[in-house]
Amino acid sequence: MRIDVAHIARLSRIAMSEEERAHFEEQLARIVDYVDQLQEVDVTDVPPTAHAITRHNVFRADEPRASLTNEQALANAPDEARGYFKVPAIIEEA
């Protein structure tokens, strides 16, 4: 199985050099070949299991509670300004 690693890396938001791409392509192809054995299993009428231990939806009272302060929320931010997370400009100034 050939995998378009450039495409998958783009979807994954991971920058990648040509060399890395070739390296991952070979490894991922082997892994996908291995997991392809799932295709031989008869899963007719078998429902999917997303969670092994059955749980019903859990509700709680919709009441305001204390949360992180603005300062706490920003304490680990790589960049911040005026109480907001700061990112590179993505819209040109008018």
Partner 1 sequence: MLCYANAHELVRRMQAGELSAQEITRAVLERIDEVEGTVGAYVNLCPERALETAGAVDDARARGTDLPPLAGVPIAVKDVICMQGMPTTCSSRILENFRPPYDATVARRVIDGRMPVLGKANMDEFAMGSSTENSAFHITRNPWDTERIPGGSSGGSAAAVAAGEAILALGSDTGGSIRQPACLCGVVGLKPTYGRVSRYGLVAFASSLDQIGPITRSVRDCALLLGAISGHDPLDSTSLDEPVPDYAASLERPVSGMRIGVPAEYFTEGIDGDVRESVEAAIDQLVSLGAKRVDISLPHTKYAVATYYIVATAEASSNLARYDGVHYGYRSKSADQASDASAIIALYENTRAEGFGDEVKRRIMLGTYALSAGYYDAYYLRALRVRTLLRRDFDAAFEKVDCVACPVSPTPAFRIGEKMDDPLSMYLSDIYTISANLAGIPGISVPCGLTSQGLPVGLQLLGSPLGEEALLRLAYAFEQSTEHHTVRPELAGKGAA
Minimum distance from residue 18 beta carbon to partner 1 (Å): 13
Considering only CA atoms, give the Rg of the chain. 23
For residue 79, the 8-state DSSP code is S
CA distance 40 to 37: 6
* Selection from 60, 3, 53 nearest residue 27 by Cα: 3
Q: State the amino acid at position 26 in one-letter form.
A: E
Over the window 15 to 54, marking each residue x when it contacts partner 1 by CB under 8 A and - when it does not, the resulting string is xx-------x--xx-xxx-xxxxxx-x-x--xxxxxxxx-
The answer to whether residue 94 forms part of the interface with partner 1 (CB under 8 A) is no
By CB under 8 A, name the binding residues for partner 1: 3, 5, 8-9, 11-16, 24, 27-28, 30-32, 34-39, 41, 43, 46-53, 55, 58, 60, 68, 72-73, 75-79, 85, 87-92
